[in-house]
């Protein structure tokens, strides 16, 4: 049995700016599998904090009962820098004030740092190749620059996640149904996760264009396998972003149920013993992320939705009206915003005043949209 709370001081870049990063390590130290979970990387997204609060309690109980078959590392509030970003009475937290970078963009491409030096070391034993690559990743993480608070923070997270078999990044959307982002190579396992968590959609993209945290971990293995096709290099990590509905969906009973379902998934993976917790359902099959439309506002206005979350729409159907707020037709004209694809509405905007190019809705379809381009994310 092992249950440890770890605290790391992130030394501030100016007086009075230091902060504490807290996380937990639970389960057998010599376990053959490691599970890494974090919440609130976008610090303004809180449902995941409450999910991990409840999961932490479940794991603590399982550890006391000797039922953990893996070591779990949990960062219930992974971004204290963003949690402190309060301005004019409003919490921000999505972007780094020191760099201007979205906290879930621009994470490193590990292959660029260590891939070239691994080719001559890889052998014919797949398990040994995994150990070799992970050792190189740990060495790389140890040597990352850690001068600024931002660098200290990123290094701590990367060091803990780099050798995990499961890396789950808990987020939420604006006003949304639960959904998952992952790479196509993991869709079979992610269908199981969707079934357990009740996800309304699983969106597949090997590279969504922004360097998001969950894509860091499978990307090095997929790149190595392509560069060295004669070497056995299985994909040893299951990584995803779990979107737990919308910003306002932070409720004790709801998120405890989320934690129980996530716990049930880990039990089904053979990582936790004991009586099964949660109930498995049947989620929709995964779809290519390029088939999801990001419906945007053509100009500023006030949204009046015509659809609810989960509604099915056809291409050309009105999703919302945009009430004009300026010009001769101000407060009179309603501009219909229509679906550009046939599919299911899984997210909407909470703030009904929107500006030009603001995201209005996500519609999950099955037809690849050529207009999507290489950058698939909403910001």
pLDDT tens-digit profile of 279-290?
A: 889 999 999 999
pLDDT tens-digit profile of 110-155?
A: 999 999 889 899 999 999 999 999 999 999 999 999 999 999 999 9
Same domain, 161 and 112: yes
> Is 11 part of a structural domain of the chain?
yes
Q: How many CA atoms lie within 13 A of 77 on its CB side?
A: 17
Are 29 and 16 within 8 A, CB to CB? no
Same domain, 40 and 126: yes
Same domain, 345 and 219: no
Same domain, 310 and 188: no
Chain-centre distance for alpha carbon 199: 13
Domain boundary at 261, 284, 307, which? Answer: 284
Same domain, 299 and 196: no
Name beta bridge partners: 3.
26
Confidence of residue 53 (pLDDT cuts 50, 70, 90): very high
pLDDT tens-digit profile of 162-188?
A: 999 999 999 999 999 999 999 999 999
pLDDT tens-digit profile of 76-120?
A: 999 999 999 988 998 999 999 888 889 999 999 999 999 988 989
pLDDT of residue 79: 97
Residues 46-68: what's their mean pLDDT? 97
CATH number for position 186 = 3.40.630.10
Are 364 and 291 within 8 A, CB to CB? yes
Q: How many residues does the chain have?
A: 379
> Is 368 part of a structural domain of the chain?
yes
pLDDT of residue 181: 98
CATH number for position 324 = 2.40.50.100
Same domain, 240 and 333: no
Same domain, 10 and 152: yes
- d(Cα 232, Cα 229) in Å, to the nearest integer? 8
Same domain, 132 and 205: yes
Structure tokens at 370: 């050529």
> Is 196 part of a structural domain of the chain?
yes
Same domain, 172 and 270: yes
Structure tokens at 338: 């229509």
Domain boundary at 229, 263, 284, which? Answer: 284
Structure tokens at 2: 């092992």
- d(Cα 347, Cα 365) in Å, to the nearest integer? 13
> Is 133 part of a structural domain of the chain?
yes
Domain range for 49 is 3-284
Reported pTM: 0.97
Same domain, 78 and 214: yes
pLDDT tens-digit profile of 28-52?
A: 989 999 999 999 999 999 999 999 9
Counting the structural domains of the chain, the total is 2
- d(Cα 51, Cα 311) in Å, to the nearest integer? 26
Domain boundary at 284, 311, 342, which? Answer: 284
Are 162 and 141 within 8 A, CB to CB? yes
> Is 378 part of a structural domain of the chain?
no
> Is 379 part of a structural domain of the chain?
no
Same domain, 217 and 304: no
- d(Cα 282, Cα 349) in Å, to the nearest integer? 27
Q: What angle do CA 310, 103, 20 make, to 5 degrees?
A: 115
> Is 348 part of a structural domain of the chain?
yes
Confidence of residue 218 (pLDDT cuts 50, 70, 90): very high
> Is 88 part of a structural domain of the chain?
yes
Same domain, 277 and 297: no
């Amino acid at each position: 049995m092992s249950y440890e709370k770890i605290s790391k001081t992130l030394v501030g870049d100016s007086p009075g700016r230091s902060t504490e990063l807290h996380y937990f390590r639970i389960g057998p130290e010599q376990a053959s599998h490691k599970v890494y979970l974090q919440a609130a990387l976008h610090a303004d997204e809180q449902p995941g904090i409450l999910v991990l609060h409840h999961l932490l309690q479940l794991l603590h109980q399982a550890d006391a009962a000797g039922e953990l078959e893996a070591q779990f590392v949990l960062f219930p509030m992974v971004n204290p820098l963003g949690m402190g970003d309060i301005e004019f009475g409003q919490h921000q937290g999505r972007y780094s004030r020191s760099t201007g970078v979205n906290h879930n963009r621009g994470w490193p491409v590990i292959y660029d740092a260590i891939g070239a030096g691994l080719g001559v070391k890889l052998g014919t034993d797949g398990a040994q190749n995994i150990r070799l690559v992970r050792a190189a990743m740990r060495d790389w993480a140890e040597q990352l620059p850690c001068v600024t608070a931002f660098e200290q923070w990123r290094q701590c997270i990367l060091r803990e996640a780099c050798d995990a078999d499961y890396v789950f990044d808990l987020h939420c959307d604006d006003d949304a149904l639960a959904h998952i982002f992952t790479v196509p190579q993991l869709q079979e396992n992610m269908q199981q996760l969707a079934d357990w968590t009740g996800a309304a959609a699983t969106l597949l993209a090997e590279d969504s264009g922004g360097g998001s945290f969950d894509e860091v971990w499978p990307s090095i293995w997929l790149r190595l396998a392509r560069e060295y096709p004669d070497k056995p290099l299985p994909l040893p990590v299951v990584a995803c972003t779990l979107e737990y509905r919308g910003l306002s969906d932070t409720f004790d009973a709801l998120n405890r149920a989320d934690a129980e379902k996530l716990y049930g998934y880990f039990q089904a993976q053979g990582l936790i013993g004991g009586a099964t917790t949660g109930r498995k359902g049947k989620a929709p099959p995964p779809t290519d992320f390029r088939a999801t439309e990001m419906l945007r506002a053509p100009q500023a206005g006030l949204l009046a939705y015509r659809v609810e979350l989960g509604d099915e729409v056809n291409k050309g159907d009105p999703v919302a009206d945009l009430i004009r707020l300026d010009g001769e037709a101000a407060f009179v004209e309603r501009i219909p915003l229509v679906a550009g694809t046939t599919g299911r509405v899984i997210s909407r905007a909470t703030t009904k005043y929107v500006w030009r190019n603001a995201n209005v809705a996500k519609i999950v379809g099955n037809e690849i949209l050529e207009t999507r381009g290489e950058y698939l994310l909403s910001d």
